Amino acid sequence: MQNHSADSIERLVGLLPRAMRNQIEQWGEAAAVLSASRDPRVAASLLPSGVRGLFLKRGKQGIPTQMPAHHLAHFDWRYPSDQPEMADLYARAKQGQWNADDLPWHTSVDPLDPTVALLPEGFLDIEGLTAYGVRLDQREKIKMQASLCAWMLSQFLHGEQGALFAAAQVTEAVQFFDGKLYGSTQVMDEGRHVEVFRRYLDEKLGRLYQINDNLFVVIDALMTDGRWDMKFLGMQIMVEGLALGAFGVLHRRTEEPLLKQLLRQVIQDEARHVHYGVVALREHVTHALSERERREREDWAFEVALLMRDRFLAHELYDEWFAHRMTRAQWREFISNSPGMREFRHTMFRRMVPNLREIGLLSDRIRPHYEAVGLMEYYHGAAADKLTADELIRELS
């Protein structure tokens, strides 16, 4: 029945002009994202953010977005020092500071130079586009790869802006004093990441893609949630996990030396951030949350993981390149099966799943769901608190 009505809707939509058809497909996709969630509580908590991001496209309106915050600033006039692992991270973070001006910015970058490819040939299966009746010539191919790279870096930049503000909020809200000190270094780190990605896009690639609607939803949900541990879980585990996956793939694949070095520096910072996320949340989930609260976070993490896996699909690139040549559904199929995206998902979950296990959000109750979507293969990996930055880099290259 459902299939039947979907068919007839599709037929009707097919009669509309292409641009409008595209828009309707987009809304359908958004509705599917919002209704996909199994858990009504999770769905309800994501709904307002979903409306703002997917329907109103607030990230793409070309004006600043105001996001209200509802968290409490947690002061402690006794300055307790009871979290040695966080104190140690703080000490290491101070040592690990670097100056973005020291990167080799004089390197000239030609996005269209195939001898120093931003992304290697084969990152996207461009020949596979012929199956959809789209053929690109050599120059378009190179341009397309460069566009994808600029798109990825633009999303990193938007993500880092979110991380900068979330790190500041979490630093206010967290109850561990050693965590606050550490958090201050993370704020600096995120500021530096915004600096380097913006500078690279401005000076080297010359274009900034708009924020992906689904990334906007995740950031909006974190910023407007009053519970600090939700911000934390979202930012330190999920978004940073996504970032580590994406940075890692790009670091491994790009031939552009400045970008490679820039990412290497950023990844070393990110390794500390995820480590902190694991330490702080493990403490919080095991000691401070009730079972009901823990379950809610567990479900939320699962839904967000799926959102990231299935929806982070470079639609801005589709709008630029293929909106008049193929349907959104075809694009989704093409991009999610491309070798680069597969590698990205693999890297992301290899980091994220063990971290969720370590902080206690992968109980027997949720595991069958992870099993069902094929993510349990990552269960036994090492969590961030067991990985040094060096190991992480080694693993990435």
The residues binding other proteins (CB under 8 A) are 17-23, 26-27, 48, 51-52, 55-58, 60-63, 65-68, 104, 106-108, 110-116, 138-139, 143, 146, 150-151, 154, 201-210, 224, 257-258, 316-317, 319-320, 323
CA 391 – CA 376 distance, rounded (Å)? 23
Q: Min. distance of Cβ 245 from other proteins in angstroms?
A: 23
Q: Min. distance of Cβ 379 from other proteins in angstroms?
A: 37
Of 103 and 366, the one with the shorter C-beta distance to other proteins is 103
Of 58 and 351, the one with the shorter C-beta distance to other proteins is 58
Cβ(356)–Cβ(294) below 8 Å: no
Q: Min. distance of Cβ 56 from other proteins in angstroms?
A: 5
Q: Min. distance of Cβ 157 from other proteins in angstroms?
A: 11
Of 106 and 287, the one with the shorter C-beta distance to other proteins is 106
Per the document, the length of the chain is 397
Give me the amino acid identity at 112: L
Closest CA to 348 of 97, 159, 126, 144: 159
Of 21 and 264, the one with the shorter C-beta distance to other proteins is 21
Cβ(103)–Cβ(265) below 8 Å: yes
Q: Min. distance of Cβ 325 from other proteins in angstroms?
A: 14
Cβ(297)–Cβ(229) below 8 Å: yes
Of 153 and 384, the one with the shorter C-beta distance to other proteins is 153
Q: Min. distance of Cβ 120 from other proteins in angstroms?
A: 15
In the chain, the N- to C-terminal Cα span, in Å, equals: 50
CB atoms within 10 A of CB 277: 26
Closest CA to 281 of 269, 270, 293: 293
Of 18 and 342, the one with the shorter C-beta distance to other proteins is 18
CA 38 – CA 155 distance, rounded (Å)? 27
